[in-house]
Structure 1
Amino acid sequence: MDINNVKDPLRFRWRQLLNYFFQGLIILAPITITAWAVVSLFIYIDNILPNFIHSIFPVFYKPDENGDIEKIPGVGFLVITIIIILVGYVSTSYIVGKIVDFFGHLLERTPGIKFIYTAVKDFLEAFAGEKRKFDKPVLVSVDAPDVWRIGFMTQESGEKLDLVDHVVVYVPHSYAVSGIVYIVPLEKVKLLHHVSSTEAMKFALSGGVAELTH
């Protein structure tokens, strides 16, 4: 009996099982991580309102025999979502907008608090709202003449930095939430007119694995 003939089928089966394992991992991992992130976010937001009300008015949310606050699942999430929508709607009026701007300027001038407030505000405005910054996907050459990185033009002029005919480009890192800011001459930047900002960000964060559609 040839031992090599016995080993080859076993090796083939182990290799096939390993391929099945990685194929299953590729299918299940994104689904599981996405579901975990969504459920965790839902639970976190859903617990904000009951915990807040309990800390101020303990009568409304009484703890049970285990010390847990009694609440109806989903109510806190729904109420907070409605509050956010109402605040966004009311803030569009002229008077409320001026009041929000007043308190915003006040917080921006308060020592200590201004760093937290401005950092959170700028971060959120970069992705949403009327002052979105990551809405101009570009190709930028910073390493070599024929080497390009995908990024986002965040400022169309570097004049305030004494760099005329320069632009500010943010280049995100793959598989990370960090990135690098480059100030480069305008001729080193190519606007991606046929690529959406969402596709460009997904392409950059995925290490170029995500497909671009026109």
Structure 2
Amino acid sequence: MRALVNYFLRGLVVVAPLAFTGYVCWRLFVLIDGWLGLPIPGLGFVATLAFLILIGFLASSFLARGLFAVVESLLTRLPFVRLLYASTKDLLNAFVGEQRRFDRPVVVTVYPESEGAAIGFVTQSSLEHLGLHGQVAVYFPFSYSVAGHVLLFPADRVRPLPADSADVMAFLVSGGVTRVSATPAIPREAVVPPAAAPH
């Protein structure tokens, strides 16, 4: 009986992630495919991808970049729209844009008097513009969630973590279950520039 239970649990571990991933991908495909309401299955998805590629191409051209800048300027002047637009844009840029933010994993000494530490990502290596000299902003993702929080620490309590940022994110989101492979050591200046050092 115990062997059957073990086989069941092992099968569950193999099938459940595949089924969940397949279900989420399928639901996203159906959702995107239905945006345009086209009668042929899959055509809406392909059209949406083509549209996004076209917009990306236009946004890279000099003339269209000026037009997008004007539209963005208008959006950032509207109180509620500004909040939605700016936060969504910054979030996407942090993951896939040209200004990626979650690419500098660090280990932070949370309490100087203890040996406890936390893993996060430096999102702002200098907060001088806020009058916070020697402080850096570190984002800590929550496990099994898309949420997280940002805390400010003195730069001398933050040290680079020699690991791939995607692996570190998977490690944190999985609650520390996913294995992280070490990479060559990262120079401290690449994560916390000297300008962020305490005065």
Question: One fold, TM greater than 0.5?
Answer: yes
Unmatched 5+ residue regions in structure 2?
A: 184-199
Alignment match, 2:75: 107
C-alpha separation in 1, matches of 2:21 and 2:50: 24
Q: Percent identity?
A: 39
Q: TM-score, normalised by structure 1?
A: 0.80
- AA in 1 matched with 2:54: L
Partners of 1:158 and 1:183 within 8 A in 2: no
Q: TM-score, normalised by structure 2?
A: 0.86
Alignment match, 2:58: 90
Q: 1:143: Cα distance to partner?
A: 4.0
Alignment match, 1:133: 101
Whether 1:209 and 2:177 are equivalent positions in the alignment is: yes
Deviation readout 1:53-78 (Å, 9 max, x if unpaired): xxxxxxxx6xxxxxxxxx11110000
Two-structure CA RMSD over aligned residues (Å):
1.3
**What does 1:6-45 align with in structure 2 at a 5 Å threshold?**
13=1, 15-45=2-32
Q: 1:162: Cα distance to partner?
A: 2.2
Alignment match, 1:116: 84
C-alpha separation in 1, matches of 2:136 and 2:79: 31
Report the number of matched residues: 181
1:185 to 154, 160, 163: 154
Structure showing greater relative contact order (alpha-carbon pairs closer than 8 Å, 6 or more residues apart): 2
Match of 2:36, SS state, is: helix
- AA in 2 matched with 1:203: F
Match of 1:49, SS state, is: coil
Unmatched 5+ residue regions in structure 1?
A: 1-12, 51-60, 62-70
- Higher-Rg member (1/2): 1
Alignment match, 2:189: none
Match of 1:104, SS state, is: helix
C-alpha separation in 2, matches of 1:127 and 1:161: 24
Partners of 1:168 and 1:184 within 8 A in 2: yes
C-alpha separation in 2, matches of 1:74 and 1:143: 53
